[in-house]
Amino acid sequence: MEYTKLGRTDLNISQIGLGTMTWGWQNTQAQGFEQMDYALAQGVNFFDTAEIYAIPPSPERYGATETIIGNWFKDRGNRENVILASKIAGPGMPWLRDGDNQINRRTVLAAVEGSLKRLQTDYIDLYQLHWPNRGSYHFGKIWGFNPEFDAQAEEANFLEVLTVLNELIQAGKIRHIGLSNETAWGINKWLQIAKDNNLPRIASIQNEYSLLCRHFEQDLSEIAMHEDVGLLAWSPLARGILSGKYLNGAKPEGARLTLETRPEHRVGPQVDAATQQYIEIARNHGLDPCQMALAFVNQQAFVSSTLIGATDMDYLKSNIDSITLKLNQDVLADIQSVRREYPVPF
């Protein structure tokens, strides 16, 4: 395994991170335990979860994944061997906190206490804001700049949230903080307000990034590099699409998109065409398509960790092994040619 520094913290996280959102729905607790045991034995020390997991979110599955991780910590007695990340959900789920779930002082305090209890731990190493109060362009949503946006009110909220997060850090309940599904304006404001008020600095940003989704490169990559706020790349296989298993409308039994209850924006003719070409590149170079896709993410300078997730142990092992693959210039040139043809397939 290879490791990288998380932002400007003293944490060295594995460049392959273990995503957990299938435990408690697609995977049982026993399977989650098996995945954690194997990943840790391979040097994967960074686990990422969230209060709303398992996915797709529902009142019945809320907190299930954190509960499984907490049971594993209790059973194995190895909490100190894991750098643990979790998240507070933002607005959008009327069943969560009675629908009043803007990220603010009250909800942060409630969410942290709930996560600590389920995780059976005294502290969370990295606590992230799952998405902004004002919305996000991730998750297939049509989202753009609103000229009537109240920036002053948003900045006041940022200050409120940073203040309560600082209190939680001082209390030892969380160690560092991060963003998720944020924009360039957002991350710069969080950094500025923290600096101006001597409050905790954002250590990372967790956004979607893969061969099929490269929005991060346009401007956020520059911020990540120069401000030491590395990317924790989620969905590096585009929900498994880059494996090719969904080509031509296929719906494999038990697969994530087969079970998903929400509309999926990542399907369509351009996605299929780009996916097929990436698979052909891998085969032409004697590579496994999934490992090639993960290796591409792994070797981006602005990526701190590539968050993998698998329901099957064979896939998990292959995904972790991608850390040993380094793509040469011929492979990268072929990838770039497909990117030019399909710059934004979804």
204 Cα distance to chain centroid: 11
What is the DSSP secondary-structure string of 134-175? T--S-TT------TT--HHHHHHHHHHHHHHHHHHHHTTSEE
Q: Are 224 and 302 in contact (CB under 8 A)?
A: yes
Both tokens of 228, joined, read 């030491």
Q: Are 320 and 42 in contact (CB under 8 A)?
A: yes
Both tokens of 284, joined, read 């032409």
Residue 137 is among the residues annotated as catalytic for this protein: no
| Measured distance CA(22)–CA(315) in Å, rounded | 14
12, β-bridge pairs? 5
Both tokens of 303, joined, read 């990526």
Q: Are 338 and 210 in contact (CB under 8 A)?
A: no
What is the DSSP secondary-structure string of 46-115? EEE--TTPSSSP-TTTTTHHHHHHHHHHHHH--GGG-EEEEEE--S--TTGGGG---SSHHHHHHHHHHH
Both tokens of 157, joined, read 């909220």
- Planar angle of CA 192, 92, 122, nearest 5 degrees: 65
Residue 287 DSSP class: -
> Looking at 3, 53, 62, 246, which residue is catalytic?
53
| Measured distance CA(18)–CA(84) in Å, rounded | 10
Residues designated as active site:
53
